[in-house]
Structure 1
């Protein structure tokens, strides 16, 4: 409409790019595209950067600080979005992305690089939660699955082109150039986004605020984020020092993490708590498969790195395709049934990974687990996000999106950490590499199957 507000929802002919929603759709897609490049393209540069800065021993902290800080960014962005509308944390997150890229690019010590990655994770968490919150306010119920599918698709090109391009730039020029180029590419669209969102009324600023609802403490979120980052370092080795960090991080998460989540999350109470819990379990299962299947193929089974890289490409495409299917072809299916379907695919992926450890099967068999898991997440994740918005009234969708971001990161950290710990314990006990991987992958059946067992508890009223 001419005044920048949305037309009444529900017209059958309306789509994501129809007049009432076109500007919002373009802004959200462009933002996710840029965020994807900033998050994914720098990953191949980190080992080179750590080596040049004499910080290889701290590489687990460099790699884990992004995910850990995303937890804090999700809480901060969700809290801010509920109180002032999603447009402000969205703009702030994009501006912070540019700053963090410059901080990392100019690193003179490994600790400055860690700080840059931590701030980048903070920005990414704010952006992701702000977009989910704004989608809840900008689109009617029937368009939200399509919007979430489009957000997933916006990550495909960064997933396909970002890492190889960054690898080439690092090899031919410098790892610092990757950060500087990304900062330059992001600054102008970020400024444009700030201008656009200030003129729009679709970002949730007019939603009523529930002042009596409990808000997660930002200090608690900050402590949990730091503890999660240190936990990543703790599970990366097998020594008394690593054990102290791992136990300390586990204690922090056990005591403080529940304060960031809806009451009843750990017992899977119906509605939002169960939805939040299943987001963490599904995300943790997928990203553990994505992290350790390539490691097993390259380190233990001698698979070519280029071939393994093709599985990453295939997983990105399949995730986007599955997300498109749930948003368009299956948009009228009950969301809790799609959650069950996604969980079945995740459990099947875990089974394939276990079979892929057997010496009798072709060594690339385990790579198929990444493809099947991506299909499961393409159906599961958008469905859970849509359900979280359905379970949350206006004025509380920022809180719900922040809780979903928190459990996504906690799930990745916890499940991946437990997997690494189980693998290290097995190897320390004297089992061979493949047996250790088989036992560790088998443990993933627990978080991978929970969404199927509890799918009825996320059903929307």
Structure 2
């Protein structure tokens, strides 16, 4: 590099005039999407009770994760063929439309439909933003913009639960959804100048129709799994068929051997999915149980989300600073072990009806495990990939992430309903499910070493 080039590179900053508006706009979009996720977790128990839809509580969380896979696959294929501008705009429209549907929903069924739209838009939004980073920002700035995305997820965990509880109390829970629409629109205006500079591509290559179809089949089967599995009649038997369809779709979307956690990359993909499955299954119910069992207010119960956000980020920084002093395999093993310890302890706290702060503390332990092990699944995946399969493996990791959480949430809805009908503690039953998934994750993490 010449001295002048080096000087030019050193002057590049995310907030320099060339990139400032785009940086702020992308950061804001990620932050508002993250705020919506943490805010909804805080107010959803209230929403479910008001709309008489506790039976669809788990589905309201599973729906956006499942439909998000479809958005990811569709946006990725479209961006590769024609550029990210059109899919990004479609993603923003779908995400905003979903927020409007949720904010005006007269019933829990309509709210779930809005969450499906949100997921389609949110999944596509994530992929499009990553593509835009590669097209707009020079390589020297890309690590910084990705770090800003991580920070954009941490900040809402600090303030989102309390703000959501305040908004719900002051003007009603509907504005937790509707208020984000205007913020998303304002953020979009900031990145429009950068989008104008991206010339549309000629559509080359064959569209990945088969992959998109399997993503749609898998997402639909996940939702059907919870809908029919929570019934108390013969229709519940269809849950087994839906689960079989989900497994079949995963075989088409993930690398060979991932469902069996074969050593190496397949086990890495499995570990990522099981980490998400266990943690997000517990996350969906931690605020619910704190309100229902111990009578905490939404704002106070939401402190659990704030604490876990801080601990997740801190643990992530610790594993980053350790670098090669701890291997990816060891980090994944420690991470899954901590998630198992946290969820298993949460079961004991709920069963013993211990003080609520103990429930929060055990959940935070799981957050530390996610912060320590979750990032290394991505590092291990890239290390096991080549130029010919890096894109497929990256997509597979995201799909395992989303569908893992969606499947566990659908199963948690079934477990919650069955336990309630059998007069068994439904919250303890759900957390037992989360602990069981974490235990399987520990086993797969021990198989992640490269062959």
CA distance in 2, matches of 1:327, 1:213: 37
SS at match of 1:456: coil
- Separation (CA, whole Å) in 2 of partners of 1:356 and 1:50: 24
RMSD between superposed Cα atoms in Å: 4.2
1:401 to partner: Cα distance: 3.7
The offset of 1:428, in angstroms, is 6.0
TM-score for the superposition, normalised by structure 2: 0.79
The superposition leaves residues 69-106 of structure 1 with CA deviations (integer Å, 9 ceiling, x where unpaired) of 11211222232333344555344323432333234344
Q: Is the 8 A contact 1:75 1:399 kept in 2?
A: no
Aligned to 1:191: 189
Aligned to 1:375: 368
Distance verdict in 2 for CA 1:346–1:439, change over 3 Å: closer
Specify the SS of the correspondent of 1:444: helix
Q: CA distance change for structure 1 residues 312 and 38 in 2, over 3 Å: closer, same or farther?
A: closer
How far is the alpha carbon of 1:48 from its aligned partner? 5.6
Counterpart position of 1:64: 62
Q: 2:310 aligns with which of 309, 317, 326?
A: 317
1:170 paired residue number? 168
CA deviation profile, 1:379-414 (whole Å, cap 9, x unmatched): 322222344445555686554443222211221133
Aligned positions of 1:29-428 closer than 5 A: 29-44=27-42, 46=44, 58-86=56-84, 88-107=86-105, 110-132=108-130, 144=143, 148-199=146-197, 216-235=210-229, 237=230, 239-240=232-233, 243-244=236-237, 246-269=239-262, 272-300=265-293, 307-328=300-321, 330=323, 334-357=327-350, 359=352, 362=355, 364-392=357-385, 398-419=391-412, 421=414
- Distance in 1 between residues matched to 2:257 and 2:18, nearest whole Å: 35
Contact persistence 2:271–2:441 (CA under 8 A): no
Give the CA deviation at 1:450: 3.5
- Distance in 1 between the 2:30 and 2:321 partners? 20
Cα 1:265–1:15, aligned 2, differ >3 Å: closer, same or farther? farther
Contact in 2 for aligned 1:72/1:221 (Cα 8 Å): yes
- 1:453 counterpart residue number: 446
Distance 1:238 1:405, change over 3 A: same
When normalised by structure 1's length, the TM-score is 0.78
1:299-320 residue CA offsets vs partner (Å, 9 max, x unmatched)? 4566676543222110011112
Contact 1:356 1:364 in 2 (8 A): no
CA contact (8 A) 1:68 1:225 kept: yes
Deviation (angstroms), 1:133: 5.2
Instruction: Give the equivalent residue in structure 2 for 1:4.
Output: none
- SS of 1:364 mapped into structure 2: helix
Aligned partners of 2:26 and 2:187 also within 8 Å: no
Query: What residue ranges of structure 2 are gaps of 5+ in the alignment?
Result: none
Q: Residue deviations 1:301-347, cap 9 Å, x none?
A: 66676543222110011112223333455377544443233223223
Q: Which has the higher helix share?
A: 2
Question: 1:125 offset after TM fit, Å?
Answer: 0.8
Query: Structure 1 residues 141, 425: CA separation in 2 closer, same or farther (over 3 Å shift)?
Result: farther
SS in 1 for 2:449: helix
Contact 1:78 1:399 in 2 (8 A): no
